Structure 1
Amino acid sequence: MSQRLLTKSRFKQAMECPNKLFYTKKEEYANSKLEDPFLEALAQGGFQVEELARLHYPDGVLIENNDWNYDLLAEQIEELLQRENVVIFEAAFKYENLFIRTDILVKKGNEVQLIEVKAKSFDPEDENLFVGKRGGLISGWKPYLFDVAFQRYVIQKCHPEWKVKSYLMLADKSKESPVEGLNQLFRISKTAGNRTGITKKVNSLEEIGGSVLGKINIDTILDEIEAGKHLCYENLNLEQSIEVFSKHYAADKLFNSPVSFSNCKACEFTATEEELVAGKKSGFRECWGSQQGWTEKEFARANIFGIWNFRWGNRLFEEGKIFLDDLDEDDIRVRPEAGKISASERQWIQVEKTRTGDSEPYILKEELRQEMSNWKFPLNFIDFETSATALPFNKGRRPYEQVAFQFSHHTLDEAGNIKHESEYIDFEPGNFPNFQFVRELKKALGKNNGSIFKYAAHENTILNAIFQQLKESKEPDKEELMEFIKSISHSTSNSSEEWRGERDMIDLRVVVMDYYYDPHMGGSNSIKAVLPAVLNSSKYLQQKYSQPLQAIGLSSMNFDPEHVWLQVENGKALSPYKMLPPLFADWTEEQLDATVSGMENIADGGAALTAYGKLQYTDMPEEERLAIKQSLLKYCELDTLAMVMIWEYFREVVEL
């Protein structure tokens, strides 16, 4: 049996909830983080940043292979450490039942630099980057700081004679990429499951003229952590936490940390009904079963975990009010708001409908009708696909600058005619698409003066970011483009100017939240939750979209006239997002083997941003590039068509 050593990743997991140490890495337990495309994209970005960080230390020695032979790895490192001066990547240290691998270790005699590399960005001018004004750690940084504290602790146990200085190396938002295609100099292979899947196309910082990474000393904070100023878990300091976590993990023993609303609400070891039927175990169920005595009867009862945007969960949990049957309006603190559904009213509606089994939607029809009467035809529905990476795609761009590479645009006239009016995508490697993106959007929306719709705040945020990019640019038409942006958006708190355009985009998500709730949505207002809800409520939409596109007169730039958007199974409408075809549906095994992207489908934003990154590969076969482009176009087209479907449902229910 392999050694069960507490690693830095396991330590971070235990900080979230020590019970996770028992469930992690066990295939029999469901784990929602294993197949999250957005988390996968973040992880791959982290591997790329780590490769760039290594270029800062050209004499570094990389320790590879033997990943699970902890003793051998530690012995290899101790041999290297006999040198007076050495730089090691992935240095391994083992102390009792603790094991770490450092990103970068720089040894000069007894003076050692411990450098942890993260794809997270920072502003070097931020005086309160890690510690808030009241002296507490900023919550978003706490896991990273304790991660390094854990590493330093293990190193000092192995080598108490060393003087260790600790650093975070991060993406510096004040630095610009010195070259085109920085992101693609560290290529992620299609089989990459970790950092070994990176192909490096540059060998020194001199070749690219610099870096976008910065290094920050965090010794003062780590000293405070070790002294117990910042506690690790509950009332335990760093050393106490390490001791108790490592003992439980080594013994493969459940920590039995008390269940709570905040910890359990987002637990990745919560199995879905489908996973339970398939034989997966649920860590959530085991914790609540053992601690709270829950049986199938309790697990079948609706509880407070699913309430949308619920901030009173911890209070109710402490009061013993976990099930919706136990709640009244005072528990939700319902505060009505004239003319629309307030946030607390929305929560109460969800509670009432869930516990009574009422599946009928709740709609403020008159108020919604009044809202819709203010909209000007033809209506325009737009959706953007964007990317933001730690290592920029283009020269002169900063870490995590927004890149807008695609939009879709549907129109709908007063007679109800729907048209996929226009679309734009820039999938060519090396292009910075933002300014042309705005030109094309201006051209598309300039054909009429109708109302413009987005879904959620993303599009407005992106236009604000491009506004600032234009302001700093030398584009000949930048003033014209900036005025266009101002005409269809409103300024955010980060903007250097204030404005609200005469055609400021209407947020359809806000319309949903103000006037409509359907129990099928559960606690979500995302378009992927709202669309199936309206389709299940509307026989009209079911009848219409169960027919081929050509039969209902629906134009499309990307789908065959015979394409059908809706299937109804057992009386339930399936989400059209499930009808998106696989990326390489008709390809042979030989063609698939020749692909370089490693992608299978594009049906969410995480996959879309990953796809854009893959499209920057200059050696990608044109056939594969076009297939990914077409899949992106189909996904984005559905996003705007989904908005149209929601509008059609609203028109139906208010009888406009």
Structure 2
Amino acid sequence: MMAKRRYLTKSRFKLATECPTKLFYTGKSEYANQNLDDSFLLALADGGFQVGDLAKCYFPGGHDIKTLDYDEALAETNRLLQLDQVTIYEAAIATDKLFIRADILVKKGNRLSLYEVKAKSFDPEAEDPFANKNGTIKSGWKSYLYDVAFQKYVINLALPQYTVSAHLMMADKSATCPTDGLNQKFRLVKDANGRKSVSVSETLTDADLTPPILCKVNVDTECDQIYAGTDGGSDQALSFTQRVDLFAEHYASDIKIPSPVSTNCSGCEFYTKDGEEQSGLLSGKKECWKANLGWKDEDFKSPTVLDVWNFRKKGKLIEAGCIKMSDLTEEDVVPKPDKKLGISASERQWLQIEKFQNGDTSIWLDQENLQSEMSSWVFPLHFIDFETTMVAIPFNAGRRPYEGIAFQFSHHIVHEDGTVEHFGEYLNTEQGAFPNYDFVRALKVQLENDNGSIFRYSNHENTFLNMIYRQLQADQREITDREELCAFIRSITQAIKDSVEQWTGERNMVDMWEIVKRYYYDPATNGSNSIKQVLPAILNSSAFLQKKYSKPIYGAPDGIPSLNFKDWQWIKIKDGKVVDPYKMLPKMFQDISDKDMQILSDDDELRDGGAALTAYARMQFEEMSDYECEEIRKALLKYCELDTMAMVMIYEGWKDLLQQEQQN
């Protein structure tokens, strides 16, 4: 049996531009890979599967090459290219070592037009959208442009008899959706073998597609710039052709391309998590570092410069050979105060390093400023959390691509006597519904009955309420309570920097994320300010919280009122540590791997909420039973409730810490 040919594809080329060494690890089951296994979950989250199939609708009458077999796809493409005029979806083009599947390829005589579809928004009115002031390509566009440049390069090599033009096809920021329910006409379905695909509704009409909400952008100039090496790419030692040849040759031969240790290593997916090496998986990242640095297994137990929070100098330090956190000096960080209360970013960085170097696991607390901050809060205290998404294809006529959708919130209250209650929640998963105004109405009902302080964790809630404010202002329809809703939003937010109208509300939300950064540091968070790290840390350090929540009082008749939990015990101890409360929640989805669920649930400091937005997208676009939908709804409600309960427990932990400090 012949071995499958090892082609350099566009996805492998993209991987190699991130780090050439990754080519050796990709696709090998013996190496751990922390990326999602289910590519459709990624496409669901950003609307990629819908955008790809919508794009085909703007090129009607095309031939869709569905086979995954390389040779079959190449033969079918070659047969279709014999026609004088033809449109091909997923056209297969190859040379000896290179292979691409073009999203859309249009042939007219001896001209080929390549269209690479991206789930990304584009402003066609922007001046020089891809270019920096010095003429190089903006970093945010490089991966997209390198992708299409690679495809054009392969086509030119394989089919030199044609003139090729390259385009990106993206969501048009200036366009508005022509009809209601357009995105519901692109559904995710499974075949008998469990393979997922998109089903386009037979009810799709010309009215749905006119005017288009995707735009075609010619990028031949940018491709030429990449080929000429004037794009500002980091690797100027090799030309584009040399890089492609290097990647293709090494991938075909399955030979590793060594890469130096750099800041890129922090984003490497080929690493092992707890227990994976014991189960036989290999860490590509460890292999690289051992080869480059001569490290032994013992060295990997030490944190590195990459683990220092928000540290901009890590690249220069790595180049100088300073890798371990234990080797950093105060001169490397230069900690200095800023003009704000609490600790500055540089002081916090040095605090993290110093505590590690001294083996100091004690909590650092700016007692005076935290006490002053907490004394200014007005009871009852309101803790809120939003779950949101941005949909590529709008739900309603008149809406723009990637307008935000706020579909869920949770709300806890802490009263002056210390009693806690899960006071309210909102969840709208109705297919094709635009929930934003009802969302704000429900939030207003929850918060307008008193003047208590309102808390968020990070800037996400403020950003989204600003966005809904702009939607309300711009909406041409009659909205009877428009002014009341806008006044409410202004009262609890502050205007974002680029807003024409500026305000700071009299009940402007308190950002607990900022309080963590300025007044509180626990070495157990490893420098992270994410609520998913801060919560376990404070639960492990607070005897008060452990005593209170080790009892099943949450959702109990005489305990803390809850809308989704009954007789729940938040604190459970395993191996001397508090079990992360998020790991005790029911699995959001029963049909995806534990690994993918963990990746979706991993939360960064900006609260992306990957699991929640993926759940929402699945309920919008997948064919599933009422039972499956209800189980996902229940899980969503529990996850969001924990987000605000986590804020409550962090507040209670701070209050307890201050009391302890005062007693000492």
Letter in 2 for 1:555: P
What residue in structure 2 maps to residue 645 of structure 1? 649
Letter in 1 for 2:183: N
CA shift, 1:606, in A, is 1.1
**Is the 8 Å Cα contact of residues 182 and 393 (structure 1) preserved in structure 2?**
yes
The answer to which of 503-512 and 192-201 deviates more is 192-201
CA shift, 1:186, in A, is 1.3
Cα deviation code 1:70-128 (max 9, x no counterpart)? 23322221111111001001111111101111000000000110100011111111113
What residue in structure 2 maps to residue 526 of structure 1? 530
What residue in structure 1 maps to residue 219 of structure 2? 218
The answer to which of 262-271 and 87-96 deviates more is 262-271
Aligned counterparts of 1:36 and 1:74: Cα–Cα separation in 2: 25
- The alignment partner of 1:347 has SS state of helix
What residue in structure 2 maps to residue 173 of structure 1? 173
CA shift, 1:354, in A, is 2.0
The answer to which of 329-338 and 88-97 deviates more is 329-338
CA shift, 1:228, in A, is 2.2
Correspondent of 1:555 among 555, 561, 566: 561
What residue in structure 2 maps to residue 377 of structure 1? 379
Give runs of aligned pairs for residues 405-420 of structure 1, distance below 5 A: 405-420=407-422
1:580 aligns with 2:582: no
Aligned counterparts of 1:222 and 1:380: Cα–Cα separation in 2: 52
Letter in 2 for 1:420: H
Aligned counterparts of 1:151 and 1:110: Cα–Cα separation in 2: 18
Aligned counterparts of 2:145 and 2:423: Cα–Cα separation in 1: 50
Mark the CA change 1:507 to 1:231 in structure 2 (over 3 Å): closer, same or farther.
closer
**Is the 8 Å Cα contact of residues 366 and 654 (structure 1) preserved in structure 2?**
no
Question: Runs of 5+ in structure 1 lacking a partner?
Answer: 586-591
What residue in structure 1 maps to residue 605 of structure 2? none
**Is the 8 Å Cα contact of residues 487 and 500 (structure 1) preserved in structure 2?**
yes
Aligned counterparts of 2:192 and 2:291: Cα–Cα separation in 1: 39
**Is the 8 Å Cα contact of residues 612 and 636 (structure 2) preserved in structure 1?**
yes
Letter in 1 for 2:499: S
Give runs of aligned pairs for residues 49-128 of structure 1, distance below 5 A: 49-65=51-67, 67=68, 69-128=69-128
**Is the 8 Å Cα contact of residues 107 and 113 (structure 1) preserved in structure 2?**
yes
Mark the CA change 1:341 to 1:23 in structure 2 (over 3 Å): closer, same or farther.
same
The answer to which of 167-176 and 294-303 deviates more is 294-303
CA shift, 1:319, in A, is 1.8
Aligned counterparts of 2:283 and 2:623: Cα–Cα separation in 1: 43
What residue in structure 2 maps to residue 299 of structure 1? 300
**Is the 8 Å Cα contact of residues 6 and 252 (structure 2) preserved in structure 1?**
yes
The answer to which of 491-500 and 114-123 deviates more is 491-500
What TM-score results when the alignment is normalised by the length of structure 2? 0.92
What residue in structure 2 maps to residue 571 of structure 1? 576
**Is the 8 Å Cα contact of residues 41 and 606 (structure 1) preserved in structure 2?**
no
1:40 aligns with 2:45: no
What residue in structure 1 maps to residue 503 of structure 2? 499
**Is the 8 Å Cα contact of residues 34 and 599 (structure 2) preserved in structure 1?**
no
CA shift, 1:43, in A, is 6.5
Percent of aligned positions with the same letter in both sequences?
49
- The alignment partner of 2:120 has SS state of strand
**Is the 8 Å Cα contact of residues 230 and 237 (structure 1) preserved in structure 2?**
no
CA shift, 1:255, in A, is 0.3
Aligned counterparts of 1:502 and 1:600: Cα–Cα separation in 2: 39
**Is the 8 Å Cα contact of residues 190 and 196 (structure 2) preserved in structure 1?**
no
What residue in structure 1 maps to residue 606 of structure 2? none
What residue in structure 1 maps to residue 155 of structure 2? 155
**Is the 8 Å Cα contact of residues 461 and 492 (structure 1) preserved in structure 2?**
yes
Mark the CA change 1:41 to 1:576 in structure 2 (over 3 Å): closer, same or farther.
farther
Letter in 1 for 2:629: R
1:489 aligns with 2:490: no
The answer to which of 3-12 and 293-302 deviates more is 293-302
Letter in 2 for 1:573: V
Mark the CA change 1:86 to 1:41 in structure 2 (over 3 Å): closer, same or farther.
closer
What residue in structure 1 maps to residue 468 of structure 2? 466
Task: Please report the RMSD computed on the Cα atoms of aligned residues, expressed in angstroms.
Answer: 2.4
CA shift, 1:603, in A, is 5.0
Mark the CA change 1:624 to 1:302 in structure 2 (over 3 Å): closer, same or farther.
closer
- The alignment partner of 1:101 has SS state of strand
CA shift, 1:305, in A, is 1.4
Letter in 1 for 2:32: A
Cα deviation code 1:284-328 (max 9, x no counterpart)? 110111121111232222211111111111111122211122111
Aligned counterparts of 1:263 and 1:195: Cα–Cα separation in 2: 33
- The alignment partner of 1:141 has SS state of helix
CA shift, 1:47, in A, is 1.8
CA shift, 1:272, in A, is 2.0
Number of equivalences: 642
The answer to which of 379-388 and 206-215 deviates more is 206-215
Cα deviation code 1:511-557 (max 9, x no counterpart)? 11110011111131111010001000001111111111228721101
Question: Runs of 5+ in structure 2 lacking a partner?
Answer: 603-608
CA shift, 1:195, in A, is 8.9
- The alignment partner of 1:140 has SS state of helix
Aligned counterparts of 2:290 and 2:80: Cα–Cα separation in 1: 50
Aligned counterparts of 1:126 and 1:362: Cα–Cα separation in 2: 47
Mark the CA change 1:142 to 1:349 in structure 2 (over 3 Å): closer, same or farther.
same
The answer to which of 248-257 and 232-241 deviates more is 232-241
CA shift, 1:355, in A, is 2.8
What residue in structure 2 maps to residue 588 of structure 1? none
**Is the 8 Å Cα contact of residues 44 and 188 (structure 1) preserved in structure 2?**
no
CA shift, 1:494, in A, is 3.2
Aligned counterparts of 1:135 and 1:318: Cα–Cα separation in 2: 27
- The alignment partner of 1:103 has SS state of strand
- The alignment partner of 2:483 has SS state of helix
Mark the CA change 1:194 to 1:369 in structure 2 (over 3 Å): closer, same or farther.
farther
What residue in structure 1 maps to residue 423 of structure 2? 421
